Chains A and B, each alone.
Chain A
Amino acid sequence: MFRTRPDHRPETVQVFVEGRALMVPEGSSAAAAMLIAGLPAMRETPVSGSPRLAWCMMGVCFDCLAEIDGIANRQACMVPVAAGMRIARQHGAREVPR
């Protein structure tokens, strides 16, 4: 559960998190966008299906793996948001890409 501070970070970008449009501060990562959206999880683990949100937010833990613009298992904390970005949860092991 996170909230933004528009008074101090007024510039925003529109992204889509799980299909819903959301304005997030410029400079946010896709992981931050998911936190702002209040998702209960960024992914379910492939090992046990456990829900995970981010742990480190700096590219070390790989818990923030999410599907971004149709590509699965990307480290969401390492991807800066861009206008129109589509961000979705990674449900377990990756679907075989077509």
Chain B
Amino acid sequence: MTVRRFDAMVIGGGLVGSAIAWGLRREGLSVALLDEGDAAYRASRGNFGLVWVQSKGLGAPWYQRWTRQSAESWAALADDLAKQTGLSLGLSQPGGLHLCLSDQEMKDRETRLEQMKREAGNYGFDYRMLDAREAREMLPGLGPAVVGASFTPYDGHVSPLALLRSLHHGFTALGGVYLPNVKITGIATAPRNFLLQTNLGTIQAERAVLAAGLGNAALATHFGLKAPVRPQRGQVLVTERARAALPMPTTTIRQTGEGSIMLGDSVEEVGFDTRQSQPVMAEIAHRAALCFPWIGKLNVVRAWSALRVMSPDGLPIYEQSETLPGAFTANCHSGVTLAAAHGKLLAPMIARGELDPFLAPFSAKRF
């Protein structure tokens, strides 16, 4: 069988893998992006769509900073992709609110954000606690159950599916090779020399990027890496399309460019179980109706359940293998927020063959 050679192979065609593959291609590397079939866990198809900075990185200012950098580069990413594909991603970064339904929630929230501000140091972290009246001015229709909110100007949202689509489109338009329905039957590794035997032939590359989400846990060991990720379930409800009503996103409620309102989210430790559960759906609905009573009257037209890719501390894992240089792992549960960082910051590092030292805290050695 003929061997197809590339500068880099990216294993996993979700938001993480596609962003990295796209970025690598822009660096001029020849890239193969290997993906699963139609029915797969695919965290990328279950994403909520927030480009969220607020409350990311408590106790880990490097994550706070990485997230901020991504949010700041996001408009440029959207622009690049729009130019390449003609598709608007519907990016909007007006800032975001985290709604609080009790005084205790407000206190806890303020404590948390104050700590983040301290940890941000000279980098700065701008947040405000809003009382009910101020919150209502920002978000009309807010219900009486809302006691207040925290606000940061860095937050926003985007269409996660448009992002996935345009990354794939942009990648292939740039000459990247996208291979779906891949099944790996054999792996051979040496420093800067990786060979994959697959149902679509043999693929060889100097760099191998593991971006297979939950699949990374098993895959990593073949490449001298560790990726201790576990599934964490989340469920989302989506309403019928409505006229524009929400000018900015909140942590669990946002209105898409099409007009539908997305309601999240849940955090469930149930293993690889993607079933839906009525009590959880009811709770999401209940909380949403508490925040915005008018949402209560809208129809839920679809819902889903998907598995986040969660590391033990919830932070991303980025690492280059020491025993097999050229092999990298990339895992996170914020594939949308970090897409810009992955495409524009991480990919060039991988192309150069070296992760910047400031990413050292993200290595799996911390576990």
Contact = CB atoms under 8 A, between A and B. Distances in A.
Interface string B245-270: 10000000000001100000000000
B240 interface: yes
A92 B297 CA distance: 17
B218 interface: no
B287 interface: no
A78 to B, nearest CB: 13
A46 B239 CA distance: 13
Contact of A95 (B141, B242, B258, B299): B242
A73 interface: yes
Interface in A39-95: 46-47, 71, 73, 92-95
Contacts of B183: none
* Tier of interface size on chain B: 10 to 19
A94 B298 contact: yes
Contacts of A92: 243
Contacts of B65: none
Interface size class of A (residues with CB under 8 A): 10 to 19
Given A46-B259, A73-B299, A95 B243 contact: yes
Given A46-B259, A73-B299, A94 B294 contact: no
Interface in A8-67: 46-47
B109 interface: no
Nearest to B259: A93
Contacts of B259: 46, 93
Contact of B241 (A71, A93, A97): A93
B243 A93 contact: yes
Interface centre among A47, A96, A97 (most CB of B within 10 A): A96
Contact of B242 (A47, A93, A98): A93
B306 to A, nearest CB: 24
Interface string B279-322: 00000000000000010011100000000000000000000000
A95 B141 CA distance: 13
A96 B241 contact: no
Nearest to A71: B297
A97 B298 CA distance: 8
A46 B259 CA distance: 9
A96 B245 CA distance: 7
Contacts of A46: 241, 258-259
A98 to B, nearest CB: 7
Nearest to A73: B240
Contacts of B141: 96
A46 B260 CA distance: 11
A47 B245 CA distance: 17
A47 B258 CA distance: 8
A41 B3 CA distance: 58
Interface in B220-257: 240-243, 245
Interface in B99-144: 141
Nearest to A95: B243
A76 to B, nearest CB: 14
Which residue among B141, B242, B294, B298 has the maximum number of chain A CB atoms within 10 Å of its CB?
Answer: B242
Contacts of A73: 240, 299
Contacts of B245: 96
A69 to B, nearest CB: 13
Contacts of A98: 294
Nearest to A98: B294
Contacts of A97: 294, 297-298
A95 B299 CA distance: 12
B347 to A, nearest CB: 35
Contacts of B258: 46-47
The 5 closest A-B pairs by CB, nearest first: A97-B297, A93-B241, A96-B245, A46-B241, A93-B259
Given A93-B241, A94-B241, 11 more contacts: A46-B259, A47-B258, A73-B240, A92-B243, A93-B240, A93-B259, A94-B242, A95-B243, A96-B245, A97-B298, A98-B294
5 contacts: A46-B258, A71-B297, A73-B240, A73-B299, A94-B243
Interface of B: 141, 240-243, 245, 258-259, 294, 297-299
Interface of A: 46-47, 71, 73, 92-98
